[in-house]
A = this chain, B = another copy of it.
């Protein structure tokens, strides 16, 4: 057993971010970082700590009339020559794997846990494993199934990178395979067969005719998208192909359920053989709820819609309104050049602190 690194929760959030980044924690390798996080939180007498797999949950038990969740995942995508962390003091940019997605956010969570012992809402801090891989390993999902009571709350903030601006809700996503069929023949006598790739022209033509819906929900304009993300067909260079498969991804606004989204796609590709391969619901922004309203007012700025799918949808399924709010540009996530502005980390910590201490921040 390697002794876990010791996290210093009295250090500033940027230093703490570096400590977290420098504990390599590619998905499925979160034991060490979870141990370190658990030890640091267990040292705080005002928190009750639980561990499930490599997911750590710490809660205040102050008997407040409301409870909020602050959640962040501990894992990263694979290392890509971007460890250890590197702070560019001149530009105020912290570089390295996980700086943006999302150890900057994790550091903010740990700093709040350590330094706001009497928040105005009870707080549940969730630091979880395996967000970057197949959802069957996702720590938040597993926790929501094994211990839903640990996630009970009036509101949740997921520290996904959002440029330190509230991104509300998320769009759903589903994937289907649209299949055309034909009949094989030697390509020297092509008229004896039926070309399944040629038949896919109509599928692509329909995609080209698609006009995205952009519904406005709680004042936020979402933006749907229906796209081929893959196509394959062909048997050999001298054979008329008898099958072509177009893989289509539908990103749908959170006012549609998964069933409604699938019905739309089925209707859109009416007449074709269609197989659902993947589906995840969206999450309504829920900005009309008092807890969300109060949060948005506290942290300031104009909320944006979240186009990508995030774990906020898991909270929605539990009946907990949730938003994305964290340091860093989501466009940098999963890139080799991943980085985060120090100012984003500082701003997120400051705004959350102001909110949970019940005071107006001097923004």
A residues apposed to B, CB below 8 Å: 171, 173, 175, 186-191, 195, 197-198, 200-201, 204-205, 207-208, 212, 223, 225, 227-241, 244, 246-247, 249, 251, 278, 307-309, 331
Copies of this chain, how many? Answer: 2
Q: A205-B205, A234-B231 are in contact. Are A223 and B278 (CB under 8 A)?
A: no
Q: Are A188 and B234 in contact (CB under 8 A)?
A: no
A132 to B116, CA, bound (A): 77
- Smallest Cβ distance from A201 to chain B, in angstroms? 3
Q: Could you tell me the distance between the alpha carbons of A258 and B237 in the complex, rounded to whole angstroms?
A: 18
Interface centre among A187, A189, A244, by most B CB within 10 Å? Answer: A187
> Which residues from B are CB-within-8-Å of A191?
212, 223, 225
Q: 24 A-B contacts, Cβ less than 8 Å apart?
A: A173-B187, A187-B225, A189-B223, A189-B308, A190-B227, A191-B212, A197-B229, A198-B227, A201-B204, A201-B208, A204-B204, A228-B241, A229-B236, A229-B239, A229-B240, A229-B241, A230-B234, A231-B231, A231-B232, A231-B233, A231-B234, A232-B234, A237-B249, A238-B249
| Chain B residues, CB < 8 A from A231 | 197, 200, 231-234, 244
With contacts A175-B237, A247-B237 taken as known, whether A228 is within 8 angstroms of B190 at the C-beta atoms is no
Among B230, B233, B239, point to the contact of A241 (Cβ < 8 A): B230
Query: A170's closest neighbor in chain B, by CB?
Result: B188
- List chain B residues, Cβ under 8 A from A230: 197, 233-234, 237, 241
Taking the closest CB of chain B, its distance from the CB of A191, in whole angstroms, is: 7
Distance A153 CA – B233 CA, assembled complex (angstroms)? 44
Closest partner residue, chain B, to A307 (CB atom)? B188
Q: Smallest Cβ distance from A134 to chain B, in angstroms?
A: 12
- CB within 8 Å for A229 and B187 given contacts A197-B204, A237-B247, A246-B197: yes
